[in-house]
Amino acid sequence: MCPFKSHRVRRTLILTLSMVWFITTDSTAQDLAMASQDWPQWRGPERDGVSSETGLLTEWPAEGPREVWRIRGGSGYSTVAVVGGRAFTMFASGDAEFAVCLDVTSGKEIWRAGLGELLVDNDGADGPRSTPTVDDDRVYVVSAMGRLYSLDVATGVEHWHVDLREDYSASMPRYGYSGSPLVEGELLLIESGGAAGKSILALNKRTGEEVWSSQRDLMSYSSPIAFDAGGERHVVFFTAWAVVAISPEDGRTLWRHDWVGTDNMVTPIFIAPNRIFVSSWTGASVLEITGSGEEMAIQELWHKETLRNGYNSWVHHEGHLYGYDGSILKCVNVETGELAWQTRGQGEGTLIMADGNLIILTVDGELVVAQASSDEYREIATAQVLEGSCLSSPTLAAGRLYLRNLMEIVCLDLAQKKGI
């Protein structure tokens, strides 16, 4: 080959590789951008109720934001997970519980998978309580009766299932299984309520086989979170007896903080670099992780018995916590636990945060947007969007807000630019 031809080949190869790199990285950037707008599990990507989306509508007509679709659902408290143009949730129908997959553009049902026996709750609503967890090509769901499934994202076909009560001699809490499964690497983590040191389980997410088990606690209704602190990876569970941190590597206990009260429903919040906010019917605390390795410990910075939280998890923003104490919306200083402000009149509600604003769904179905400011409560917009009892937290994905009650699921457009 002549030198000129060789040079031309090399130049062509370099240009080709550059184009491949550009196309690949551009595609990857687009994929990452889309993924950043997914809501793949309970309380969003980081399980903290905070979305990274910006430019959302805060003004709308009297009837509220544009309705994309509204469908008939069913009883249950499962929230909505959204990944790759599909929405996943759970509800009751007839005498059974189901996981469902919906098209986000139309609300059309793509598939439905049966989860077995229906939980009948004489004190509330029948049906499932937890939220699906979407990971790669699988969606993980647990019925209120304790049947944990791995389903195919595309088809809903079962890959495996575990019956927590039957397989682990688990004692089901009175309101049913409510915690949402957590994916951590190749593990699927869940509070099972199992006997003989198996109240917390780590399963192989592909096969459902047990990898390790830990603790002997009675189970609560909270969902676990994962984070790095003190040189260790923590998975924190809020059981009926304690706030406990487990190493996902081998199931060993990193630290444990005993807690008074059994009906613990709220998901803890990690406050970087080393703090955790936890709350229940008996009060609220901020805990701090100190030391590392064998010297790692947990200490309570403050506890407020007057700050009581039921089922509705809080959010953290710029040194303050926002959430409901019964029917009172409060803003609390992280460092001291002191009240910055409070407001009444909405009744109880659930909330998430995006673009510096609180997005609230009241128990009576009113959508409220308020500024996440520690100075005072500043309401920006309201609209009545649902009727009846609304106890499921909002979901925000790609500019669309997903809300539900015990009868319907509605998708609203909050994007500034239509067609997202």
3-class SS string, 260-328: CCCCCCCCCEEECCCEEEEEECCEEEEEEEECCHHHCEEEEEEEECCCCCCCCCCEEECCEEEEEECCE
In terms of phi and psi (left: phi > 0; alpha: psi -120 to 50; beta: otherwise), the region of 148 is beta
Tell the burial category of 371 from Cβ atoms under 10 Å away from its Cβ (0-12, 13-18, 19+).
Answer: middle
- Sign of the Cα pseudo-torsion (156, 150, 90, 224, in order): negative
Structure tokens at 344: 């009444």
Domain ranges of the chain: 311-413
Lowest mean pLDDT among 115-129, 179-193, 365-379: 115-129
Q: pLDDT-based confidence at 121, cuts 50/70/90?
A: confident
Nearest Cα to Cα of residue 360 among 339, 336, 331: 331
d(CA 13, CA 19): 10
pLDDT confidence of residue 26: 44
For 139, residues 6+ apart whose C-beta sits below 8 A from its C-beta are 81, 88, 99, 101, 132, 133, 150, 151, 152, 153
How many secondary structure helices (H) and strands (E) does the chain include?
2, 33
User: Distance of CA 366 to CAs 348, 384, 386, Å?
Assistant: 11, 4, 7
d(CA 213, CA 191): 10
Tens of pLDDT, residue by residue over 353-404, are 999 999 999 999 999 999 999 999 999 999 999 999 999 999 999 999 999 9
pLDDT confidence of residue 3: 36
Query: Residue 9 above 90 pLDDT?
Result: no
pLDDT confidence of residue 6: 38
pLDDT confidence of residue 17: 36
Which CATH number fits the domain 311-413, given the four candidates 3.50.50.60, 3.40.630.30, 2.160.10.10, 2.40.128.630?
2.40.128.630
Q: How far is CA 325 from the centre of its chain?
A: 20
Nearest Cα to Cα of residue 205 among 224, 235, 183, 177: 183
d(CA 256, CA 203): 22
Per the CB < 8 A criterion, the answer to whether 184 and 234 are in contact is no
Torsion of CA 212, 296, 338, 221, to 10 degrees: 10
> What count of other Cβ atoms lies within 10 Å of the Cβ of residue 413?
19
d(CA 4, CA 149): 62
Distance in angstroms between the alpha carbons of the first and the last residue of the chain = 53
Query: Residue 49 above 70 pLDDT?
Result: yes
pLDDT (mean) for 257-282: 93
Structure tokens at 2: 């002549």
Q: Map residue 7 onto helix, strand or coil.
A: helix
Q: Map residue 16 onto helix, strand or coil.
A: helix
For 349, residues 6+ apart whose C-beta sits below 8 A from its C-beta are 312, 324, 329, 360, 361, 362, 363, 368
d(CA 106, CA 98): 20
